[in-house]
Amino acid sequence: MEDTTVKLLGTKGSPFSHRAEVALRLKDVKFEFLHEDLAHKSDMLLRHNPIHKKVPVLVHGEKSIAESLIVIEYVDEAFEGYNILPSDPYERAMARFWARFIDDKVIPAFWMSCWTDGEIQKGFIAQSKETLTTLQRQLEGKKFFGGDSIGLVDLAGCMIAFWFAVLQEVAGINLLNEEDYPVLCRWAEDYCSVRAVSESLPDKSFLVAHFASKKEKMFATKAPLLSTKAGRPLPPPLKSNG
Amino acid sequence: MASEKGVTLLDFWVSPFGQRARIALAEKGVQYEYKEQNLVEKSDLLLKSNPVYKKIPVLIHDGKPVCESLVIVQYIDEVWSDKAPLLPSDPYQKAQARFWADYVDKKVFDCGTRLWKLKGEEQEAAKKEMIEILQLLEAQLGDNKYFGGDTFGYVDVAFIPFTSWFYTYETCGNFSIEAVAPKLVKWAKRCMERESVKTLYDPNKVYEFVCYLKKKFGVE
C-alpha cells in the first residue's frame, strides 16, 4: 500500500519552515514535524534535499519536495480543502509575483539593513523602506494579501509579520513601525492571529535569543547568512535604481 | 492602460528570460504582438507595465501585465491549457518541474555572467561552478528526451534559452561544454528542431553582444 505519511523537516526558528507548516495546517493535513539541527544536518535532510541541503523539506510518502514556495503550491494541489492560491490564472500570476518580490527584494533588503552599518546600512535602509512601501500598497482595501483569508503572499510575508520585529529589536533599528507602515503592521497582527499561523510560530523570546547570539558573528564576518535568489550575498545598493 | 484585447510581449532580443515567454507562446500557438524594447531609454509602456522592476519580459494580456519570466510561462500554461501542456498534471511532478526551473533561475544566468565578466581566479571559480551546474542538470535529464520526459515541458522552456549562451561561456571560460555535459548538448540540439525554439538567436550573435557589453563595462 502506498505510503501517504507526511513529514516536515524544518526548524522552529525558520520563517521558511513556518510557511510550509502553515500550509499543512490550513489543509488540515496530519503531519510529523521533524526538527533539524542546522549545525548538524541529518542524513534524512541530506538525502531528501541533496541540492540545497536546506529546510523546509516536505516528505510525502516517498516523495520529497523542497523550497518553501514550491512546497506551498504542492500542498495546495495535493490536498483538498482550503485554497491557498486563487483559481483565476491572472490572480495566481499576481500571487506568485508578489511572493517572489518578498523573497527577492523585501527580505534581503531588510536583512542587510540589520547586519550592516554606516553608509552601506543607510543605503539598505532606503532600499528596504521602498520595498515595504511597494508591498504595503498591495494591501489597499484588503484584510490580507489573499483577500478575506490568507493566501500564498501572506504565507510568503510571514517573516515580515513576525520575524522583522525580532530582527530589528536585536539589530537596534526601527524600520517597520506603525507610524510609517500602519497598514502593514495591522496586517501583521491579523496574520499572526490566524489559528494555523499562531500554532506555527516560534516563541518570541527564543527567537530574540537566537538572533542576538548570531549578531556578533554576522557583523564580524560582514557576510550576512542569507543568500539572494542568485545564491550570493547582496552587493551594497547602487546609488541609482537600474 | 487601455483594455485592449490581445497579447503583447515587451522583450529584448537577446534576453534568455524573454525567450522563455516567446517559446511558451509559440508552443501554444498564441498570436501576439512582439514589441522590442530599448533598455537604455525605457518606454512609458514598459515603465507602466512593470513599475516594480522596470524589466522585460512583460506579457500584456487583454490590457493586464504579467511580469517575471517563470510567472509568465506558468500563466501562459494555465490560460492556454488546451494545447501543449508545459507543466505536468500530477502535483509531485509539477513540484519537481518547478524546483528545477527555480534551480536554473538561481544558478545559470548569474554564474554565466560572472564567467564572461570576470578574469583570473574569479573567472576560474565561475567556470568550475558552471561545470558543476551543467553536470547536475545533465544528471537530472538522464536518458530522457526532454526534462519533461517524453514531452517538451516547463524545465525545457526555462533552460533552453541559455544554450545560445553556451558558445559565449565556452569561449570566455576556455572549456568545452560538450566535453563536460555531452547529453545536455544533445538535448539542446533536439530542442532546436522544434519550431518554437528555432527562433533562438545565433550563438555567435549572443557572443557579439557580450563582447559589446564587455567593451561597455570596460572588461577585457
Domains of chain A: 6-78 (3.40.30.10), 89-231 (1.20.1050.10)
Instruction: Select the residue of A66, A73, A97 nearest B67 (Cβ to Cβ).
Output: A97
pLDDT at B196 over 90: yes
Phi, psi (rounded to 5 degrees) for B85: -60, 135
Cell readout for B90 is: 500530477
Question: What chain B residue is nearest to A67 in terms of C-alpha separation?
Answer: B99
Task: Report how far residue A48's alpha carbon sits from residue B90's, in angstroms, rounded to the nearest whole number.
Answer: 19
Burial of A189 (0-12, 13-18, 19+ CB in 10 A): exposed
Encode pLDDT of B83-114 as tens digits.
Answer: 999 999 999 999 999 999 999 998 999 999 99
Q: Are A189 and A165 in contact (CB under 8 A)?
A: no
Cell readout for B105 is: 533561475
Cα angle at B100 between B97 and B101, to 5 degrees?
85
Task: Report how far residue A37's alpha carbon sits from residue A216's, in angstroms, rounded to the nearest whole number.
Answer: 20
pLDDT block averages, 10 residues each, chain A of length 242? 90 95 98 94 93 95 96 98 98 98 97 93 96 97 97 98 96 96 98 97 93 80 48 43 32
The confidence score (pLDDT) of residue A236 equals 46
The confidence score (pLDDT) of residue A64 equals 97
The confidence score (pLDDT) of residue A228 equals 41
Report the DSSP beta bridge partners of residue B9: B34, B59
Encode pLDDT of B131-151 as tens digits.
Answer: 999 999 999 999 999 999 999
Q: Are strands B58-61 and B7-11 parallel, antiparallel or unpaired?
A: antiparallel
Q: Tell me, what amino acid is at B204? A: N
The CATH number that domain B91-217 falls under is 1.20.1050.10
Burial of B33 (0-12, 13-18, 19+ CB in 10 A): exposed
The confidence score (pLDDT) of residue A227 equals 43
CB pair distance less than 8 Å for B94 and A101: no
ipTM: 0.95
Give the CATH superfamily of B7-79.
Answer: Glutaredoxin (3.40.30.10)
Give the residue among A179, A198, A199 at the shortest CA–CA distance from A189.
Answer: A198
The confidence score (pLDDT) of residue A225 equals 47
Contacts of B92 in chain A (CB under 8 A): 60, 63, 65, 74, 78
Cis peptide leading into A15, omega within 30 of 0? no
Sheet of B58-61: strand order equals: B33-36, B7-11, B58-61, B64-67
Contacts of A78 in chain B (CB under 8 A): 91-92
A133 in reach of chain B (CB within 8 A) = no
The confidence score (pLDDT) of residue A217 equals 76
How does residue B220 score in pLDDT terms, banded at 50, 70 and 90? low
DSSP conformational letter for A104 = I
Contacts of B61 in chain A (CB under 8 A): 90
- Look up cell 539572494; give the residue: A228
Task: Report how far residue B38's alpha carbon sits from residue A184's, in angstroms, rounded to the nearest whole number.
Answer: 36
B21 in reach of chain A (CB within 8 A) = no
CB pair distance less than 8 Å for A93 and B72: yes
pTM score: 0.93
Q: Are strands A32-35 and A57-60 parallel, antiparallel or unpaired?
A: unpaired
What is the number of other CB atoms lying within 10 angstroms of the CB of residue B125? Answer: 14
CB pair distance less than 8 Å for B52 and A134: yes
The confidence score (pLDDT) of residue A72 equals 98
- Which of A54, A65, A76 to mutate to test binding with chain B, by most B CBs within 10 Å of its CB? A65
Q: Are A63 and A3 in contact (CB under 8 A)?
A: no
CB pair distance less than 8 Å for B79 and A89: yes
Task: Kindly list the domain boundaries of chain B, sorted by start residue.
Answer: 7-79, 91-217
